Structure 1
C-alpha cells in the first residue's frame, strides 16, 4: 500500500510474501484461496514458462466453479460453507433468489443515477412528467414495505417479478410483495428487452391503497405471506442497468499501468478458481504478451488467437457430418498459423432425445453417431494434433434426456458420459502418437467433454468465455409480460445501431451511454432488433437463466455457476431458434452461432470465428 493505493511491488522474498498473505487472510478470510500479493515477475521467470496460448487455456465445468454467495452485511463475496447436494434444504431455494437480488442491488447502487452528487449542477436530469422526483435529485429506491400509508405517491421499486397464487402479477423484494398493474406501463427502452416472471426489474409508478383487494379486507395493515394491501400502478418498467467488467472488478481500464486503482470492486475475488484479477491479472498479461511475441517470431506457427464455434451439431444427420467434414477440411488446408487453436462443438448432438423405451436401444444408436464423428475427425490428424476440441451437450443428449424427453432439464447438466466418447478419444490418441507430433514442443491436441454451461479461460482471469446452450429466446417469447405499447413505435433500439448496444433515450430514466457509428440513424432489421433484445435481457439480469424454477429447473446449490457477474469477456449463447449474431454490450461480446446447417437452406454451413485477442467474433458462411 502506498498513499492508500495498491501499487505493483518489487519481487518479494518468501518471508515477505508469506507475511503479506497472512495479512490478506486476516482482512478477507472468505477470499483466502484466491488472494495473493501483487508481485511483478521477472523476464527470467516468464521465459521459463510454457509460451503457447493453448498451455494457458482452461475449461472449467459448472460443478468446479467456486460456489460464492454475496454477503450483504460485509458487502463481499464469501465461499458457501454448506456441502452441495442434489437434495438441499428448502431454504436454499429462497437463498438462490435472495443472492441474485443482493448482487443486482449492490450493482445498482454504484450506478451514477443512484449516487447523490455534492453539486446540483453535476446531477443528470432524470425526471419524467409522471414522476414526483425533482429535476436535480438522484433516483431513490423504496422498499415494498415502506409503501404502507403513502397512497397516491410516486415511487421507484426494485424487485422480483412473479406470479401470485391468484394468478396476478406481483413484485417482491426482501421486505414484502405487492400486486402490480402494468396495463399502462411503458417499457424502457420501447421493445428493447423482455420482462418475464423470475426477472428482477425496476418499476416506477404510483401506489394506491384499497379497502378491499380481491375480496379480502387488507387495508394498509399488510396481507398474507408478506403481501401488503393495495396495488402498485406501473408507469414505466425497465431492467437494472448493466455494469462493465472493469467496473465490477475495480480495475477501471488500468491494467496496462503499474498502479492499480483500489477504489471499490471485487478484484481480489477468484470467481472461477483461476486466480483473481488483482492477484494474477498483471502477471498473466505479461505472459500473454510474451507468448504472442514469440509466436509471431516463429516460422512454423504464427499467432493463433482464433476459436471456431459451431452449434446444433446433429450427428444423426448425414448433412451435418458432410458439412463438418468440409469445414474441417477448409481449416486443414490453411497454414498452421491461420488455424483455430480450439473448436467448440455445441449440442444437441442428436435431433431426437435419447430415450430407451419402446424396444429401441437409443444408447447404442447414440454411440454409433459419435463413432461416425470419430471417423470424420480421423481424416484430419493435423488438426487433432494442434487443436483442442470442446464438446458442450444440449437438452437431447444423455442422460437427462432419458427422463425429460428433450424438454427443459435441470441445469447445470453433466457432460456426455464416457461410454459414448471412447472412439473420439482413440482418434486423438492415434493422431498424437505420430512421430512428428511426439517430437513437437507444442501441446498435444485433446478432446474435452464439459458441462452445460461451462467457462473457457485464457491466461487466467484475462479472458473469460462463458458457453451456454439453451432455447432461451423461445422461452422468453412464451413467458414475457405484455404491456400496452405504442403501435407507431416498434423499432425499440433503433438509435443504437452499432455493435455497442445500450439504453437509448436519456429522458427515460436510467441511461447507459451507447457507442454509435455514422450509421446510427439507418433502419434496423427485425432480426437484429430481436438479437439485441436477447442480449440486453440476459446481461442486465446477470444470470444465464432469468426464469423461475418451475419454468427452467435449476440445481439450487449450483445456481452460482449461472451468474454473469462480473460480466465475462465474451458469452456464447447458443440458441438455434435465434438468428446468428455477434454484438457487444457493455464490453461483453455475445455470440450465437445458430445452426451449423440451417433448416431453411441445407446447402450452407454457418459457424462463428472468434478472436479472443480482439474480443470479436464473425459469422462465417460456406456453401
Structure 2
C-alpha cells in the first residue's frame, strides 16, 4: 500500500492488526451512509480497512478510529466529491488528513480545517480568520486566459460535478497518444454537452421527475408525466403515446431530421411542429421536442440497424439557460479559470469568504476600465491607421490630463489584422514576401504607437486574431467555416518589434476565443460571424410558412390598419434588436460558443471545454462585423456585440469602454 497514505501514527501506539473489509463495513456504514448519506465502494472500503488496521491496530473500533472516518466524511462532502466514495478519491482525502496532522498542532479546531479553498491537497485549505486579515491584491485576480491556460475539465454525470480531463493536450507524450486522445475527445464532444445540459434541465422545475408519493390522483399523475423528459429507448413499443424528448438535432443519411440522446436515436417528423419563438433552430443544437411516437412511418424504417418508428413533433424549444449564480451554487463554485493551482482529479472550488472579498474589492475600484476596439482592425488599410492615430492621440491626452487615473487596464484590438488572408504559394519567394508584408503591418503599428509615450508605457495591448490571420488563414483562405477553432494566437515572430517597444508583459497575444478573469467576473471574448451562420442555417418550419401566408392575407384585408395600430401599441422593438435577442437566447441556452456540427465549424475537440459557457459568464463580448452594436442581458449574463472598427462608408471609429465595478458598457464613436 502507498506509504504516504498509511504514514500517520496513532496516539495510542497500538500495533497493526489484520482486518478484512467485512469487519469494518458495519462501522463505515453507520458513519458514512446513515450519518452523512455517502456510499463507499468496494475498492475504497478495502483501502480504508488497510489504513485503519495499520493506524489504530487493536483499537480499530475505538473513538479515535471513528473520528478518523468522520473526518473523511466531512472533507469528502466539503469538496463536493459526490455521494460515492471511490478508492482514488479516498486516497487523496487520507493524504490531506496526513499532511494536516504533520503540519499542525493537535489543538487546532475543526472549524479551521473546513474553511478556505477546497482542493486536492491540504496547503490550499486555509484558516478563514487568517484569510480575512490578509488584504487582496487585485492584480493577482486579473488574468487573460487562453484555452491552453484554462483548466481542462468535463462534467461527470455520476458525481454531478466537474473533473479534470485526463486525456487533455497537456498529457500527450507520443504521436500515438495524441491520435488516441484526439479520437477519444471527438467521441466525447457531444456527450459532454448532452450530460451538462441534461443536468441543467433536471434542476428546472418544469422538467422535474415525478414524485409519486406526492401525487394524490390519477389525473394529477398524468399532468406531471407530460412534463418529464423521456429517454428515446423508453418510447419504443408505446405507439400513439405522448412524450417529451431531449437530445441532439442532426440529419440522417436520407436528409431526414434525427434526434439523438444517450440511449438511442429516432427520426423526427417536423411537418406539424411549432417552435418556441425567439430562437434559431438548426442541426448541431440540443433541443426539447414534444410530440407523439408512431411505431410506423419515417424514411429510416426499412433500415436493418434502426429499431423503427417516427416521432411526430408538435412543439420544439431550447433547454432554458440558468443564471450564473444558480449554476455555480449547484457545482460548488468551481475554479474553471485556474486562479488556484489544480491538484488531484478535482476542479478546485472558491470559498464563500474569498468570493465576498473579491466582490467588495471589485466595487471599490471605480477607476478601472477596459477598452475594446471594433473588429477588423486591418492594418493594411490607411483609413484605419488614420483612425487609430486619432484614437491614440485622444488616449494619450486623457492619460496626461487625468494624472494617470484614466489608464485602461487593457486595450483589446481584434482582427483580422489584414484585409487579405496570409496564404502560402507555390513560390518560396512569394511566400516569404507575404509573410514580410504581414509583419510589416505590425511594424507600421509599432511606429504609430511609438508617437504616444504614455500609451506605450502604461497601456497593455491585447491582440485577438481573425480569420485572415496566421497560421490558419494559410489553409482556410480566410473562410470562417474552415478555421480550426479555437484559433491560436498570432505568432510572436510577426509582432517582435511591437513587443520590444512595449514594457515586458504589456503585449498579450490571445487566442480566439479568450477569457478575462477580473476579480469575481468572467469575461468571454469571441470573434466570429455568428448571426449570418444562425440565419443561414435556421430551419423553416411549416408553421412559419403558414404564418407568412396569413400575414399576406392580412396585408390584403381591411383589418391590416387595425392590426398595425395594435402591433405598434404593444411592440416598440426594432427588427435588429429582435435578431440580437434571438441570437443571444440561442447561444446562452445552448451553453456553447459553437453549437454547430463539424460541417459548419471545425472544432478542436481537445479544447472543446474552452468553448463552453456553462455556467454563464458574467459578460460575453461578441465581435461580429456583419451586425450592429447591441447590448442584451439574458438570465443575468450581459452580452454585447461590437461591429467593425471602421465602416467602409464613413470615417468613424467604433469602440466600447467597460467599467467592471458597475458592469456598464459605454459605446463610443470617434470621427476622424
Q: Confirm or deny a common fold (TM above 0.5).
A: yes
| 1:450 is aligned to 2:543 | no
After superposition, residues 276-291 of structure 1 pair within 5 angstroms as: 279=350, 282-283=353-354, 285-286=356-357, 289-290=360-361
| 1:316 is aligned to 2:380 | yes
Report SS of the residue matched to 1:333. Answer: helix
* Counterpart residue number, 1:69: 154
- Is the Cα contact below 8 Å between 1:343 and 1:390 reproduced in 2? yes
- Is the Cα contact below 8 Å between 2:516 and 2:523 reproduced in 1? yes
How far residue 420 of structure 1 moved from its aligned partner, in angstroms, is: 0.6
| 1:15 is aligned to 2:104 | yes
How far residue 308 of structure 1 moved from its aligned partner, in angstroms, is: 3.2
* Counterpart residue number, 2:664: 616
* Counterpart residue number, 1:269: 334
**467 and 237 in structure 1: CA distance in 2 versus 1, 3 angstrom threshold:** same
Distance 1:537 1:161 in 2: 14
Report SS of the residue matched to 2:602. Answer: coil
* Counterpart residue number, 2:207: 114
Out of 406, 427, 434, which is 2:478 matched to? Answer: 406
TM-score (norm 1): 0.77
How far residue 135 of structure 1 moved from its aligned partner, in angstroms, is: 5.0
Query: Alignment RMSD, CA only?
Result: 3.6
- 86-95 or 539-548, larger mean C-alpha shift: 86-95
Report SS of the residue matched to 2:536. Answer: helix
**382 and 119 in structure 1: CA distance in 2 versus 1, 3 angstrom threshold:** farther
Distance 1:488 1:324 in 2: 50
Out of 419, 422, 431, which is 2:496 matched to? Answer: 422
**121 and 174 in structure 1: CA distance in 2 versus 1, 3 angstrom threshold:** closer
* Counterpart residue number, 2:469: 397
* Counterpart residue number, 1:238: 317
- Is the Cα contact below 8 Å between 2:146 and 2:511 reproduced in 1? yes
Report SS of the residue matched to 2:194. Answer: helix
Distance 2:581 2:333 in 1: 32
How far residue 345 of structure 1 moved from its aligned partner, in angstroms, is: 0.9
Out of 413, 416, 423, which is 1:345 matched to? Answer: 413
* Counterpart residue number, 1:500: none
Report SS of the residue matched to 2:350. Answer: helix
**287 and 115 in structure 1: CA distance in 2 versus 1, 3 angstrom threshold:** closer
* Counterpart residue number, 1:375: 447
- 80-89 or 371-380, larger mean C-alpha shift: 80-89
- Is the Cα contact below 8 Å between 2:244 and 2:289 reproduced in 1? yes
How far residue 21 of structure 1 moved from its aligned partner, in angstroms, is: 10
Out of 649, 652, 655, which is 1:604 matched to? Answer: 652
How far residue 42 of structure 1 moved from its aligned partner, in angstroms, is: 5.7
- Is the Cα contact below 8 Å between 1:200 and 1:239 reproduced in 2? yes
Distance 2:536 2:250 in 1: 15
Out of 453, 457, 468, which is 1:385 matched to? Answer: 457
Distance 2:513 2:348 in 1: 22
**411 and 188 in structure 1: CA distance in 2 versus 1, 3 angstrom threshold:** same
Distance 2:417 2:665 in 1: 23
* Counterpart residue number, 2:328: 249
Task: State how many pairs are aligned.
Answer: 530
TM-score (norm 2): 0.72
**287 and 134 in structure 1: CA distance in 2 versus 1, 3 angstrom threshold:** closer
* Counterpart residue number, 1:593: 642
- Is the Cα contact below 8 Å between 1:412 and 1:451 reproduced in 2? yes
Report SS of the residue matched to 1:90. Answer: helix
- 554-563 or 266-275, larger mean C-alpha shift: 266-275
Distance 1:291 1:546 in 2: 33
* Counterpart residue number, 2:263: 175
* Counterpart residue number, 1:101: 194
After superposition, residues 18-29 of structure 1 pair within 5 angstroms as: none
- 575-584 or 132-141, larger mean C-alpha shift: 132-141
Q: Deviations over 1:451-479 (max 9, x none)?
A: 111111112xx111011111122222222
**377 and 89 in structure 1: CA distance in 2 versus 1, 3 angstrom threshold:** closer
* Counterpart residue number, 1:564: 613
Out of 274, 281, 286, which is 1:200 matched to? Answer: 286
How far residue 330 of structure 1 moved from its aligned partner, in angstroms, is: 2.2
**Which is greater in Rg?**
2
Out of 626, 634, 644, which is 1:577 matched to? Answer: 626
**166 and 28 in structure 1: CA distance in 2 versus 1, 3 angstrom threshold:** farther
- Is the Cα contact below 8 Å between 1:386 and 1:445 reproduced in 2? no
* Counterpart residue number, 1:325: 389
Distance 2:546 2:406 in 1: 48
Report SS of the residue matched to 2:337. Answer: coil
How far residue 287 of structure 1 moved from its aligned partner, in angstroms, is: 5.3
Report SS of the residue matched to 1:229. Answer: coil
Report SS of the residue matched to 1:478. Answer: helix
